[in-house]
Amino acid sequence: MAPFVKAAQRVIPTMLDSRCEAGPADCVSSGHAMYDLTSVIGMSGIISGALAFSLSRDAAFDLLRRMTGVETTEVDELVRDCVGEMANMIAGGGKLELQPFPLKLGLPQVIQGHDYAVYAPRWSIHEWVPLETDFGPCSLTLGFDLAGLQSHLIDLQK
């Protein structure tokens, strides 16, 4: 989780001129409640999993304003694109720190709603981290399946 939290703490101040303070990671064994908008990016390679960046509608509106200068009060394609792009930058930044385990990132998918959870039972690691920013509370959820890593390490020992 640390590479992705560090990435958020670099990307958010740089791109949004905002502080980004991470709270303690919470290991979760089932889906964790999310904010109004969540972008999920799948990751594949030796290890596989997904990263989710979640924030409220109001935080997403401020995110759009900070990224583009555009103001809105409706969740539209531009708002969803900005939320997806923020998740993409955070995932890409975390990926850089995990170069020994090459990862391929999928395209961001944005979920909008009030009563949903991001969950994949195959993940052996599933953590949620709250982020406090100047544009509102956000969170990162990260899930990984380490079975591929275990196989890779066994192959290296042969």
pLDDT tens for each residue of 127-151: 889 999 999 999 999 888 876 555 5
Please state, in angstroms and rounded to a whole number, the distance separating the CA atoms of residues 25 and 1: 8
For residue 4, is pLDDT > 90?
Answer: yes
Query: Treating both helix axes as pointing N-terminal to C-terminal, what angle do 57-68 and 77-97 enclose, rounded to 10 degrees?
Result: 80
> Per residue in 26-77, pLDDT tens?
887 665 667 999 999 999 888 888 999 999 999 999 999 999 999 999 999 9
Neighbours of 50 (CB within 10 A): 22
Of 154 and 96, the structure prediction assigns the larger pLDDT to: 96
Please state, in angstroms and rounded to a whole number, the distance separating the CA atoms of residues 130 and 147: 27
Give pLDDT, residue 148: 59
Q: How many CA atoms are closer than 13 Å to the CA of 79, on its beta-carbon side?
A: 20
Phi, psi of 43, rounded to the nearest 5 degrees: -130, 140
Q: Which of 51, 52, 49, 71 is nearest to 60 (CA)?
A: 71
Q: In the chain, what are the helix, strand and coil shares in percent, each to the nearest 5? A: 35, 35, 30
Q: Which of 145, 114, 139 is nearest to 45 (CA)?
A: 145
Which token pair is 49?
């999993």
pTM to 2 decimal places: 0.88
Give pLDDT, residue 6: 96
Give pLDDT, residue 154: 52
> Per residue in 78-127, pLDDT tens?
999 999 999 999 999 999 988 877 889 999 999 998 777 766 656 667 88
**What is 2-18+32-157's CATH superfamily?**
CheC-like (3.40.1550.10)
Give pLDDT, residue 53: 95
**Domain ranges (residues) in the chain:** 2-18+32-157
Phi-psi region of 99 (alpha: psi -120 to 50; beta: other; left: phi over 0): alpha
